[in-house]
Amino acid sequence: MKIATVGKGGSGKTTLAGTLARIFAERGQRIVAIDGDPNPNLALTLGMTPDAADRITYIPPSIMTLVKDEAGNSKLEPTMSNDALMEKFAVRANDGIDLIVMGKPAHGTAGTGCMCSSHRAVRGLIAELTDIGEHTITDMEAGLEHLKRGTARNVDMMLVVAEPYYRSLEAALRTCELARELNIPFVKVVSNKARGEEDRAAIADFCAKHDLEVIGEVPWDEDFAKAEQQGKSPYDHAPTSVGIRAIRDIADRIAALAVPPAVPGSGDGAAARA
Ligand SMILES: Nc1ncnc2c1ncn2[C@@H]1O[C@H](COP(=O)(O)OP(=O)(O)OP(=O)(O)O)[C@@H](O)[C@H]1O
Ligand SMILES: [Mg+2]
């Protein structure tokens, strides 16, 4: 299963992606975690130390090149084999998880360059690394721009993290609509940070009204904040906290889903908006 976490800034994408990776790995599954955020921090959530995270070599966006096939369609090609790529760039995080980090494109993003090459590389990598590991889990950049560009077009499941306030829910709805346009087989909302029944119901009711499927509800968890204060991953800080248990339930539900056959039009073809 190729999974991506998406949602508004600060909604909880990295916490979810990193913790899911740890839970699957703890169950003996081989996991490739991809940090697709230009401001990467998945390493810490996977339990790596800040020092080890600082030593990671980021994958340059040039790892994927756009070529034309015989029919003139745009096609992404890796510039090295998967084995070479993993050997050169993957770092071992806790529980045997292989982590690769995209980082920023070389020309920067502060008004000077664009993120196209980086988006393209993430998209290509998600497609290329399918055969390595049982799950790839990609932590995406906040917002919708990468979705409009089809960055996560190659995933099987998009987990849309929603918080209990209006703008987050509206963003989740728009995200789900875009994900469906990309023909992503499983598009599921993860309710996050509800501080009580009213919050929980706000997300659940909104999703029911708009026909969005909620795969799990992660309540507000004080231990997540404490973990951050101590520079630890939530999973290592309190493996049985209420939030981690809720993410375990989500992992169970994901495991129970079979990967459906590929949906026509979901690959990198003429429609690539690279
Ligand atoms: N269920 C929760 N309860 C309490 N705090 C939470 C919960 N989920 C996430 N957080 C906290 O919210 C903050 C943002 O979480 P996280 O970094 O996972 O979000 P993000 O969507 O990846 O953010 P960004 O858009 O900046 O990448 C962190 O401090 C995290 O500990
Ligand atoms: Mg994040």
Alpha-carbon distance of 241 to 223, in angstroms, equals 7
* 268, 123 contact by CB (below 8 A): yes
How many Å lie between the centroid of ligand 2 and the Cα of residue 234?
A: 14
pTM over 0.85: yes
CB within 5 A of ion ligand 2: which residues? Answer: 13-14
How confident is the model over 27-61, as pLDDT tens digits?
A: 999 999 999 888 899 999 999 999 999 999 988 88
The full set of domains in the chain, from first to last, is 2-7+11-256 (3.40.50.300)
Could you tell me which of 179, 190, 188, 175 has the C-alpha nearest to residue 150? 179
- 3-state DSSP assignment of residue 25: helix
Tokens for 238?
Answer: 């309190």
Ligand 1 binding pocket includes 37 (Cβ within 6 Å): yes
Contact 81, 128 (CB under 8 A): no
pLDDT band of 259, cuts 50, 70, 90: low
